Structure 1
Amino acid sequence: MLAAVDRTFREWARSREPMIPAGFSWTFVIITDVTMAAIGLVATLQRPVADWPVSLAAIVVAFMPWVLFFIFNVCKYEGQALWAAWMAGTAVLLFATSTPIRGDFAPLLLTLTVGVVGAITSMLGGFLAAASAGALLVAAAAAHRLETPELYLAFLGIGWLVGYLIHVQRQLLIKEQETQAELAAHAAADERRRIAREIHDVIAHSLSITLLHLTGARHALEHGCDNAAAVDALRQAEDLGRQAMSDVRRTVGLLDAGNESLTPEPGVEDITTLTDDFIRAGLNLTAEISGAYQNVSPAAGLVLYRITQESLTNIAKHAPSSCSRLALAISPHEATLSIVNEVEVPIGRPVTPRGRGLRGMEQRIEIFGGTLCAGPRGDSWSVSARLPLGAPA
């Protein structure tokens, strides 16, 4: 029974949260209303018993906005409604009692009014609330219903200052929440781009080598060559397809928030295996790698690996019968990668849109402050990358 009541109350509270101004919470609403009720109760006890019905009626008037906001779902928790109800309740407490009260607590409700209205609305809203509350105090003093009005006027100034400070803090909190939401959106977009690059690189590379193996197998079968060569090519294509599926599952697994896979990403030391795969698949490629792998961080090694993978995949896709050269030089401070495809580039060839692969290579290397140039060079197509080492990404 208690669990059902608690669940119902929580659902009701969540349904009313949009009515609370941005930057505030139920804690602010509850503290404000409890303070208002405490002031009204003390002011009621200060008055003669005969005036208690009038005092309780004043408290009911002060609570009307709360009823309209959260019971009948009429409007939001607005400062104007609070100002009208609390000013009316205070006026009833001050003018509708039979005798003036010494040390009256009722004007403190005006201080709460000024502070809350200033916090919810603006500096000007708080100032107008303070001015109207001051006018009410002056009127009560002129009617001899209030002693020491100057003390209560000082409380109004304090209430306005507190409301203004809360208003400023609220604006800063809203700005911080908006900034955090923008950062989260940018982070999500960056993560989607990273996963898209990974999937593109894995699938394009695997399919290109698989197609080379299948082409070799078909050529062997068509020309009556040894069936063992065709079977070997098909077996390698099958193995590569299984590896590609595993890579795709690992990359898609990055989308899982609970993914805790510790499978390492490929690095610079895997470039040799990558070039060997292309060579076995039939690509006419020569590779020369020099330098110490230890100078390359895992993140920088992944960049070099993906650039090599994308470049060789493009060669296998567009010019599988051409000659290609790969040179990777690693020094303590820089890694230089050059991939040249000796294919004739027609003069005046129209510029095609930059594909996802080239954009992905540029995005990867720019993160580390490197540079990448890709395009025709003489009678060949060249991809050149320079990646500084030892510098933080």
Structure 2
Amino acid sequence: MEATTPPLATSGEQPQLALAQRPWSTTVVMSLAAACAALIAIFGSSASISGITIAFALIGLVPWALESGGVQLRPPLFAVLTIAPAAVIVLADRNPGGLFPAMIAVVAITHRRCSSVVRVACLASVVGLTVGLTVLEGARSTGGVYFLGGIGVSWLAGSMLRRQEALVAELRQAAERERRHAAAEERARIAREVHDVVAHSLTVTMLHVTGARRAISTNPERAAEALERAETVGRESLDSIRQVVGLLRDSVTGADASGGSRDPVADAPLPQLSDIPALVAQYRTAGLCVAASVDIDGIAADATTSLTAFRVVQEALSNALQHAPGAPVELHVAGDGHGTVLRIVAENPAPTRARTSGRQGLGLLGMTERVRAAGGSVDVGPADSGAWRIEAALPLRRSAALS
């Protein structure tokens, strides 16, 4: 799917692709304008109708017909094929109407993406035609100044068209960058959600399975109980994964507006602050020694902050099991006393080499991104006491229902 996406230009790079492929409608409109200019040259006055004017006015339309048909002519060749017939009409037949097709050629050449030498040469040629006609006509010539003004307007119109197409190309590139950035953020969000669910469930399940393996020969009943708990956690994790996938799908496709039946698991509420004590109890049952102080009574948080707090505690406990199994964990969850900040602190002594190597796993990275997305701050690393410390501060924004 991404293979069809054209490469983006850098900030200092001209949008060459968008400018090289000019819109078909612009070419057709200019071709029609050139045809009208040729008719003006032929029928502008009764004295202008001559064989030379008719023949070279039609010859001057050939490059426009090729361009409209999809044949891309090089700017120097296009300039010669359009200005040369106009020069014959103006100088050989002394017909000032031949300057009108030349002006349209100035618009087209100035509008194109080509070198400045070609643009200046085209402009100088048409100005030279005007000056030459004025010299040939002598005292009878009264429109030289007006033609020069028209040439200037043609140059300005071509420049504005070129600048407009450049801006459109830049806007398209900005929109494409925004789309890619949104896709990357969505992938990161999916990775965070799946990691939070899978890592937690697998950690607890493996802890139960390990306990069952150690107790199966000495205490079969205890081993069976541990396996039953592992099975329960596995089933709950499957439901959680289905719930996360359902929410992510709805965020992309929109809510189900057809009124059809929905999966009750996908409609289940997400974890929140009030679920933290049950989460701690689950880890305790799995064998983790947790000294928890959870004071969340009277704390009102919106859905985002509530879910983020739950995930932070979940990651802190999973991280402790993964890197320091068997070590006690101290957990403190409470408000700041003013109802504005929720603080979560988890400490686990005996940090391992993997923790202090300076590398963060996906769980800690996802937790940091989640906390910052909720407007909070997080600090992860060894404390002064030598313990491994995770400290998060989340702003409390009261939900609409509570406020």
TM-score range, shorter chain: 0.7 to 0.9
* TM-score, length basis structure 2: 0.77
**Counterpart-to-counterpart distance in 2, 1:252 and 1:54:** 72
Question: What SS does the aligned partner of 2:219 have?
Answer: coil
- Residue by residue over 1:34-64, the C-alpha shift from the partner in whole angstroms, topping out at 9 and shown as x without a partner, is 1111111232234779966544542443333
Whether the 8 Å CA contact 1:61–1:88 is kept in 2: the answer is no
Q: 1:95 to 1:128 in 2, by over 3 A?
A: closer
Amino acid corresponding to residue 370 of structure 2 in structure 1: R
Amino acid corresponding to residue 41 of structure 1 in structure 2: L
Residue in 2 that maps onto 1:172? 167
Task: Count residues with an aligned counterpart.
Answer: 366
Q: Is the aligned partner of 1:129 residue 2:122?
A: yes
- Residue by residue over 1:254-297, the C-alpha shift from the partner in whole angstroms, topping out at 9 and shown as x without a partner, is 7x843547855433333333223323333222433224576322
Residue in 2 that maps onto 1:181? 176
Whether the 8 Å CA contact 2:204–2:230 is kept in 1: the answer is no
Q: 1:301 to 1:56 in 2, by over 3 A?
A: farther
Q: Percent identity?
A: 25
Q: Is the aligned partner of 1:249 residue 2:248?
A: no
Question: What SS does the aligned partner of 1:144 have?
Answer: helix
Question: 1:236 aligned to 219, 232, 256, which one?
Answer: 232
Whether the 8 Å CA contact 1:114–1:163 is kept in 2: the answer is yes
**Counterpart-to-counterpart distance in 2, 1:244 and 1:173:** 45
Q: 1:366 to 1:181 in 2, by over 3 A?
A: same
Q: Is the aligned partner of 1:119 residue 2:114?
A: no
Residue in 1 that maps onto 2:9? none
Residue in 2 that maps onto 1:4? none
Question: What SS does the aligned partner of 2:107 have?
Answer: helix
**Counterpart-to-counterpart distance in 1, 2:231 and 2:177:** 49
Amino acid corresponding to residue 391 of structure 2 in structure 1: S
Question: What SS does the aligned partner of 2:388 have?
Answer: strand
Q: Is the aligned partner of 1:94 residue 2:101?
A: no
Whether the 8 Å CA contact 2:27–2:68 is kept in 1: the answer is no
Instruction: Map residues 45-124 of structure 1 onto 2, 5 A cutoff.
Output: 45-46=43-44, 54-69=52-67, 71=69, 73=71, 75=72, 79-97=75-93, 100-101=94-95, 104-121=96-113, 124=116
Q: Is the aligned partner of 1:277 residue 2:282?
A: yes
* TM-score, length basis structure 1: 0.79
Q: 1:287 to 1:113 in 2, by over 3 A?
A: same
Whether the 8 Å CA contact 2:106–2:123 is kept in 1: the answer is yes
Question: What SS does the aligned partner of 1:320 have?
Answer: coil
**Counterpart-to-counterpart distance in 2, 1:347 and 1:316:** 15
Whether the 8 Å CA contact 1:217–1:230 is kept in 2: the answer is yes
Question: What SS does the aligned partner of 1:344 have?
Answer: coil
Whether the 8 Å CA contact 1:213–1:236 is kept in 2: the answer is no
Question: 1:358 aligned to 354, 364, 372, which one?
Answer: 364
Q: 1:91 to 1:367 in 2, by over 3 A?
A: same
Whether the 8 Å CA contact 2:273–2:296 is kept in 1: the answer is no
Instruction: Give the RMSD, CA atoms, in angstroms.
Output: 3.5
- Residue by residue over 1:184-236, the C-alpha shift from the partner in whole angstroms, topping out at 9 and shown as x without a partner, is 33222222222222222221111111112223333442323426624532442
> Which blocks of at least 5 consecutive residues in structure 2 are unaligned?
1-15, 257-265, 399-403
**Counterpart-to-counterpart distance in 1, 2:193 and 2:49:** 78
Q: 1:118 to 1:72 in 2, by over 3 A?
A: closer
Residue in 2 that maps onto 1:214? 209
**Counterpart-to-counterpart distance in 2, 1:53 and 1:324:** 100
Question: 2:307 aligned to 302, 306, 311, which one?
Answer: 302
Whether the 8 Å CA contact 1:286–1:324 is kept in 2: the answer is yes
- Residue by residue over 1:306-329, the C-alpha shift from the partner in whole angstroms, topping out at 9 and shown as x without a partner, is 221211111222333232222111
Q: 1:62 to 1:269 in 2, by over 3 A?
A: farther
Amino acid corresponding to residue 216 of structure 1 in structure 2: G
Whether the 8 Å CA contact 2:323–2:351 is kept in 1: the answer is no
Residue in 2 that maps onto 1:336? 343
Residue in 1 that maps onto 2:32? 34
Q: What's the offset of the Cα at 1:21? A: 2.8
Q: Is the aligned partner of 1:288 residue 2:276?
A: no
Residue in 2 that maps onto 1:163? 158
Question: What SS does the aligned partner of 1:383 have?
Answer: strand
Question: What SS does the aligned partner of 1:337 have?
Answer: strand
**Counterpart-to-counterpart distance in 2, 1:297 and 1:349:** 32
